[in-house]
Amino acid sequence: MTESTVILVLVIVTALGFDFTNGFHDTANAMATSIATGALRPKMAVALSGLLNLVGAFLSVEVALTVTNAVVNLQTSNGTPKESLTADGGVALLLIILAGLVGGIVWNLLTWLLGLPSSSSHALFGGLIGATVAGLGWAGVNWNGNGSKLDGVVGKVILPAFLSPVVAGIVAAAGTWLIYRAVVGAATKYTENGFRWGQIGSASLVSLAHGTNDAQKTMGVITLALLASGHWTSTSSIPFWVKVCCAVAISAGTYLGGWRIIRTLGKGLVEITSPQGMAAESASAAVILASSHLGFALSTTHVATGSILGSGVGKPGAQVRWRVAGRMVSAWLITLPAAGLVGAIMWYIGDALGGVAGAIAIFVILLAAAGYMYLRSRKEPVGHHNVNDEWDETTAPAERVPANTAG
Amino acid sequence: MVNNLQFSLEAVWKVLLAGLVLGAGLPLIFALGVRSLAWGAGGDAEVHAGGSAGPKPQPVGTVIGWVLFAIVLAGIALGITFIVAGGLGKQLSFEHIFPTIVDKKH
């Protein structure tokens, strides 16, 4: 095997690892409310969501080759890698992608450990931006696009992050308010059953949309790596095995279920009822679908969180734990720079050691960090058995993890 | 930056509008369906004074309820078609009011 083939294999494994974390990080977006209200048993909910993500990933045959173009200048506009980066068998480009992916995974695992629903796409983009800045300098980043359409870090990442939770929140609040007005006079016991079905249906739509949106990103990244190392030449299609691997990785991750995050979203923000759950998931599904249609890139996590908050605001007398919401928002704000920082450090380490040794070194660092965080998580396990326990601010997992693990 | 802000705001109000119609409108129709079923069922499905038998069942309520559910299901079917069509490089067109699947414009 040549040098670039070895690195390529590491990139593919790491990319699938990222896809897997993306899956379990986002199970909560679709299923947290259904689990919290008891509309679906926890195991059933993650199985349904995993299956729908699998289906969704296969539906996304649209070529996502230019996914990195939104934030960095690694590719030309038709998807082929920049020639200056492929001179040495693609090693330069592969190292940037690998370092970026490691940044994304490390941040995803850390926020999972803290039970915080941060955006996986921000983590991926953040890691890639950091690694690109380290490798190519600030000019390698596409900050604003060329001004002709919504593009660049500002247009595709930062502005949507501020706007999409607000939009989702307004829709969910309106929906919740309308639903409660509509059923005045009917017995809650009777309506509950109907709303559970509504909740399951709307949550399923969110899962499906998630599979089509998020699996695509990893498919694009892997194909870019294959192009860079000369193992693939078409810019109008993606290798079928890449599609299969990404679909399986994201749905396996979803099925594993990020229980810590499910708990925060389902129990931590709002004590949610079935009508609120239905309103929140419907708002999420509608906003995600409408946005992808209009080319407005957004993070399913931001939308889902905004929707759940909105459903708390829209129900008269409901309690919203703004402290928990505040903690989430601060995690959102630092996701991009934090993942970027990890990505940049990884690139410097990889570059200093050079070639295969550098790539293997950062891969080992990733394994060590992942292993450490997994062991930390076992001290306060959250699973399908205790995901719905009463939320107590003082014993929430996020509160008990000492600050020194954040380094 | 200024351009992006402008493009965002242009996109955002459309997302908000579509979100309100589909994301709050369909749940409202669903809720009205549930309400209507309760009216159709009568008795304990309706809030009534303790000790009394509750209102009489109204079969027409059951019918209206299921019609409303059918509307919601049609809306969801459109949503799924939308996802699938997008994945296959097609898109839904409402040019002729009735939704049709056409090739994607770029």
Cα–Cα dist A143/A73, whole Å: 10
Between positions 175 and 194 of A, the ones with CB within 8 A of B are 175, 178-179, 182-183, 185-187, 189-191, 194
**What does the pLDDT average to over B63-84?**
86
pLDDT, tens digit, 9 for 90 and up, residues A246-257: 999 999 999 988
What's the pLDDT score for residue A356?
A: 87
Any idea where the domains of chain A sit in the sequence?
Answer: 3-387
Q: Which of B12, B45, B84 sits opposite A186 (nearest CB)?
A: B45
B-chain CB neighbours of A144 within 8 Å are 1, 3-4
**What does the pLDDT average to over A25-51?**
92
Cα–Cα dist A268/A262, whole Å: 9
Distance from CA of B45 to the nearest CA of A (A): 5
Q: CB under 8 Å to A152, separation ≥6 — which residues? A: A70, A71, A142, A143, A144, A145, B4
What's the pLDDT score for residue A393?
A: 65
Among A22-26, A196-200, A273-277, A327-331, where is mean pLDDT lowest? A327-331
Cα–Cα dist A318/A344, whole Å: 43
Q: How many CA atoms lie within 13 A of A37 on its CB side?
A: 26
State the Rg of chain B over Cα: 21
Which range among A59-68, A128-137, B52-61, B73-82 has the greatest average pLDDT? A128-137
* Structure-block tokens of residue A9: 């294999």
What's the pLDDT score for residue A398?
A: 46
Phi, psi of A388, deg, nearest 5:
-100, 10
Nearest to A129 by CA among A117, A119, A143: A143
**What does the pLDDT average to over A212-229?**
86
**What does the pLDDT average to over A14-18?**
95
Among A171-175, A229-233, A333-337, B91-95, where is mean pLDDT lowest? B91-95
> Are the Cβ atoms of A209 and B83 closer than 8 angstroms?
yes
Distance from CA of A194 to the nearest CA of B (A): 6
A-chain CB neighbours of B15 within 8 Å are 164, 167, 287, 290-291, 294, 296
Cα–Cα dist B105/B90, whole Å: 8
Q: In chain A, whose CA is at the least distance from the CA of B22?
A: A286
Assess B80–A contact: CB distance below 8 Å, yes or no.
yes
Dmax over Cα atoms in chain B, in whole Å?
66
**What does the pLDDT average to over A56-62?**
73
What's the pLDDT score for residue A391?
A: 82
**What does the pLDDT average to over B32-61?**
85
> Are the Cβ atoms of A159 and B83 closer than 8 angstroms?
no
Q: In chain A, whose CA is at the least distance from the CA of B84?
A: A59
Give yes or no for a contact between A256 and A46, defined as CB atoms under 8 angstroms apart: yes
Let me know how many helices (H) and strands (E) chain A has, helices first: 14, 0
The 10 Å Cβ neighbour count of residue A253 is 25
Assess B49–A contact: CB distance below 8 Å, yes or no.
no
The 10 Å Cβ neighbour count of residue A145 is 20
Q: How far apart are the first and last CA of chain B?
A: 24
Q: How many CA atoms lie within 13 A of A60 on its CB side?
A: 28
Assess B63–A contact: CB distance below 8 Å, yes or no.
no
Q: What angle do CA A378, A384, A389 make, to 5 degrees?
A: 90
Q: Which of A150, A160, A285 sits opposite B79 (nearest CB)?
A: A285
Beta strand B90-93 with B100-103 is antiparallel
Cα–Cα dist A224/A79, whole Å: 8
Position B90 confidence tier, pLDDT thresholds 50, 70, 90: low
Assess B77–A contact: CB distance below 8 Å, yes or no.
no
Give yes or no for a contact between A260 and A113, defined as CB atoms under 8 angstroms apart: yes
B-chain CB neighbours of A201 within 8 Å are 76
Q: Which residue has the higher pLDDT, A125 or B102?
A: A125
pLDDT of B104 over the 80 cut:
no
What's the pLDDT score for residue A244?
A: 92
pLDDT of A183 over the 80 cut:
yes
Give yes or no for a contact between A254 and A53, defined as CB atoms under 8 angstroms apart: yes
A-chain CB neighbours of B22 within 8 Å are 282, 285-286, 289-290
Give yes or no for a contact between A177 and A312, defined as CB atoms under 8 angstroms apart: no
Distance from CA of A61 to the nearest CA of B (A): 5
User: Count of CB contacts below 8 A, A vs B?
Assistant: 174
Phi, psi of A380, deg, nearest 5:
-130, 65
Cα–Cα dist A58/A35, whole Å: 26
Nearest to A98 by CA among A214, A12, A3: A12
Assess B59–A contact: CB distance below 8 Å, yes or no.
no
Nearest to A114 by CA among A322, A300, A330, A343: A330
pLDDT of A70 over the 80 cut:
no
Give residue A92's identity as a one-letter amino acid code: A
pLDDT of A61 over the 60 cut:
no
* Structure-block tokens of residue A130: 């950091």
Q: Which residue has the higher pLDDT, A72 or B70?
A: B70
pLDDT of A307 over the 90 cut:
yes
> Are the Cβ atoms of B86 and A293 closer than 8 angstroms?
yes
Assess A314–B contact: CB distance below 8 Å, yes or no.
no
Position A19 confidence tier, pLDDT thresholds 50, 70, 90: very high
**What does the pLDDT average to over B19-33?**
93
Give residue A1's identity as a one-letter amino acid code: M
pTM equals 0.86
> Are the Cβ atoms of A289 and B82 closer than 8 angstroms?
yes
Cα–Cα dist A114/A196, whole Å: 29
Q: How many CA atoms lie within 13 A of A234 on its CB side?
A: 7
The 10 Å Cβ neighbour count of residue A251 is 27
Q: CB under 8 Å to A395, separation ≥6 — which residues? A: none
Q: CB under 8 Å to A385, separation ≥6 — which residues? A: none
What's the pLDDT score for residue A173?
A: 95
